[in-house]
Amino acid sequence: SMAERRFDDCVAMFDSTMTALMPAVKVQETWDAVQKQAGKFKEQQGTRYQRYGVYDIVLVTCRFEGNPLDARIVFNQSGKIAGLFFVPYQPAVEYSTPPYAQRDAFREEEVTVGSGHWSLRGTFTLPAGKPKSPAIVLVHGSGPNDRDETIGPNKPFKDLAWGLASRGVAVLRYEKRTKEHANEMPALRNTLTVNEETIDDALEAVSLLRGRTEIDTSRIYVLGHSLGGMLVPRIGARDPRIAGFIILAGATRPLEDVIVEQLTYLFGLDGVTDEQEQKRLDESKKLRERIKALTPADTASAGPIFAAPAAYWLDLRNYDPPALAGKLTVPLLIMQGGRDYQVTKTDFDRWRSALENKPNVTFSLYPLLNHLFIEGQGQSTPSEYERAGHVSEEVITDIIRWLNL
C-alpha cells in the first residue's frame, strides 16, 4: 500500500494505538524519508517470520535503488498492525547441523499425523540399524509453529530430533495445526481450545508411533515445550499408556498473566517504558481482566481476546498443571533454562514445590540456557533468538540418561 501511496489503506490496518501515533500523513512522511535515504522502491523480495512475546513480526525484504531494507511489521493478537519500522536488511542465516548430530546415524521419513481434514505433515527421525527404538513426540509452544519450531535461524525441534536420533531415540515432529491449517482456523473461531490447538494432534502423533514396527511401543514418550509443556499433564490424563513425559519450560500460571509479565519485561529492557509501550501494557492488563471476568454465557459473543475465543480461556480457567501432573505415575523430567524470560524460574519452582517429593519426577535447571534451550550470556532478549545457535548438548545427554539408554 505504501509503494502505491495508499496511506489511508495502511492506517486501516493499524490498531488504535498506532492509528493515534501514526496517521496517514505521518506514514507518508516515513515512506518518503525511507526512499530519500535508500532510493526509489523497486520490489518486495520475500518475508521472514519472528515472534516477540505475544506479537507476531513479519520482516518484508524491500529492494530499493540503494540498499535493501527490511520492513518490520508487528502484528498484535487480533491481527492488527501494532508497529512499523524500517531496519537494515539482514540476510537469513542457513540452519547448520548441530555438532552432536551424526547424519549417518539416522534416517528421516515424511509422514502424515492424523487423517482427514486436520491431518498434518510431519517428519519421523529413526535411528539406523536399531530395532525397537524408544520414541519421543515433540509438542510445540504457542503460536503457529512449524515442525522444527523455527525462530529466526534456530530450529530447536530439529536439533532435538537429530541429537536424540544420533543417540538411538526415534523422534516424531510435525507442523502445528494453527500453521498447517491457518486458513481453516477461522472455522473454530468461537470454539477453539487447547484440545484442537495442541492436545488432539499430540495424541494422533502417539497413535502413529504405536503403529510403527520399528518402535518399542511400551517406550513412547511425549516432550512438550512451553505451551506444549504446560499441557503435558492434560495429554497424560487423556492417554495413560504413554510411557513418560518431558517438560521443557512448561508454564504453570494462567496464560493471560504470563502475557502481561512478558510484555512488562520486554518494555522494561531499555530501562524506560515510553508512552506507546505504556498504552500497550495498559491495554494488555484490560484484556487480562476481561479474560478473568468471562463466564460460559460469553462463549458466543465475547469475540477474540489475545487472538483466542472465550471458549479457549474458559477451558483453561481452573487448570493447575503441577496439581494434575501430581496424578501421573509415569516418569516425568522437568527442564528449565535459567535465562528464560518467557517461562521463568518462578514456573520451575512451582513444578518443584508441587512434585519434588514424588519419586517419578526429575528436575534439571540450566543457568545459561534461554527459552529455546540455547546457551547465552546476560539478560535474554528477543534479538537473541535471531542469533544462530543449537539446543545445548547437555539437554540431549540428560534426556538420554533419563531414558536409561
Catalytic residues: 226, 340, 371
Other C-beta atoms lying within 10 Å of the C-beta of residue 311: 21
Cell triple for 290: 476481561
**Are residues 392 and 366 in contact, defined by beta-carbon separation less than 8 angstroms?**
yes
- Pick from 158, 219, 169, 95: nearest CA to 373: 158
Q: Give me the amino acid identity at 351.
A: W
Euclidean distance between CA atoms 361 and 250, whole angstroms: 14
Backbone angles phi, psi at 336, to 5 degrees: -145, 135
Cell triple for 61: 525484504
Euclidean distance between CA atoms 146 and 122, whole angstroms: 9
- Pick from 163, 161, 184, 159: nearest CA to 171: 161
Euclidean distance between CA atoms 176 and 379, whole angstroms: 29
Which residues lie across from 124 on neighbouring strands?
109, 172
Cell triple for 240: 495413560
Euclidean distance between CA atoms 24 and 251, whole angstroms: 41
Strands 332-337 and 244-248, sheet pairing: parallel
Q: Give me the amino acid identity at 375.
A: E
- Pick from 196, 198, 222: nearest CA to 210: 222
**Whole-number Cα distances in Å, 390 to 68, 146, 279, 333, 374:** 29, 17, 36, 20, 6
Q: CB-based burial of residue 186 (10 Å sphere; 0-12 exposed, 13-18 middle, 19+ buried)? A: exposed
- Pick from 310, 297, 381, 298: nearest CA to 339: 381
Euclidean distance between CA atoms 328 and 25, whole angstroms: 59
Q: CB-based burial of residue 324 (10 Å sphere; 0-12 exposed, 13-18 middle, 19+ buried)? A: middle
